[in-house]
Amino acid sequence: MTAAEHVVASNGVAESQKQPLLSVRNLVQEYETRGPGGVKTGVVHAVTDVSFDLMPGETLGIVGETGSGKSTLARAIIQAEAPRSGAVMFQGRDLVGLPRRELKKARADMQMVYQDPFGSLNPRWRVGDVVAEPLLGHTRMDRDERRARVDELLDRVGLKPELYRNRRPMELSGGQAQRVAIARAIALNPALIICDEAVSSLDVLIQAQVLNLFEELRADLGLSYVFISHDLATVKQVSDRVAVMHLGQLAEIGPVDVLYEAPRHPYTWALLDSIPVLDIETGLARRPVPLPGEPPSPLDPPSGCRFRTRCPLAQDVCAEVEPRLVDLGRGQQAACHFPLEPGEAFGARQASAASSR
């Protein structure tokens, strides 16, 4: 179900008319690097001027190469690390700079599910204690109420309480451990769950089961998701809209079907072109043409457009002026001085650009 299909809320107001659940504005996260003696040697530009909205009931997929800033963005949103600048408006309140006690309350409505479930579960605790942890910190339930709630949550994620309540994480498979992590994440009935590569460590069959669980929880509990992954096919399956990150910036954002059908940014096109496609007639896989050059370093990003050093369409203005996200219609935005036209063959644009030089 897409966000557009969640059209009528309980008060009869269309989703499109509701306020965003999450609004990220001009978010910047940087890290200083230091050499011997603590001398500053540089700055890692991990996230630079990122802005987007997430509507209630919506799933926003975030894709990009390793090192593009996806996980750093997630940590900045949840305030695991305070950003250098910018705003994170969640349920109408800016989380940046909130006192510790107020931030703890806000986090009850915003949870994370991580890539490695075993790394996020205390190996010494039993499953029942792991799932009950947020209940201890945020509710006044007594012991019997917590136990009943834990059993309800385990059953909700497909684990029989009588079989799994007293096990420890090391006694679980990867898929079972991730289900425990999901049970803990939904314990307080949050409005938003941030999934940081939440299925990438699971085998294909278990991935499908966990993705179906996420979708069931969204429908039943009214959840919104920020779904981070490098797997383009998975993101297409679960998302309503997709944001493409490159070297800490948003290159493009738009409805999933529109963006996958007609990418407007050359980097998005290159990402989608990297997906192997099987030719039904020959039985052979089409090999994508790799981008030229090496990915730039976030320690020293190129001036202007950060993709220009690998972009065959780049011109002088790309080095001089940093492109901003502009509305290209159909809900699609791209940060490119020379965006592709819908349905335009990228190879034809490359050839045209090469012949004009």
pLDDT in tens, 180-221: 999 999 999 999 999 999 998 888 899 999 999 999 999 999
Helix extents (H) in 110-198 = 117-120, 127-138, 143-156, 161-164, 174-185
Structure token pair of residue 88: 């994170």
pLDDT tens digits, one per residue of 298-341: 999 999 999 999 998 999 999 999 999 999 999 999 999 999 98
pTM to 2 decimals? 0.88
User: Who wins on pLDDT, 292 or 145?
Assistant: 145
Determine contact, residues 263/342, Cβ cutoff 8 Å.
no
Q: How confident is the model at residue 350 (pLDDT cuts 50, 70, 90)?
A: low
Write down the pLDDT at residue 345. Answer: 60
What CA–CA distance (Å, rounded) separates 43 from 32? 4
* Closest CA relative to residue 182, chosen from 168, 194, 200, 165: 194
pLDDT tens digits, one per residue of 228-275: 998 898 999 999 999 999 999 999 999 999 999 999 999 999 999 887
* 355 has a pLDDT exceeding 70: no
* 105 has a pLDDT exceeding 60: yes
Percent of the chain whose pLDDT exceeds 90: 74
| Secondary element (H or E) of residue 261 | helix 256-261
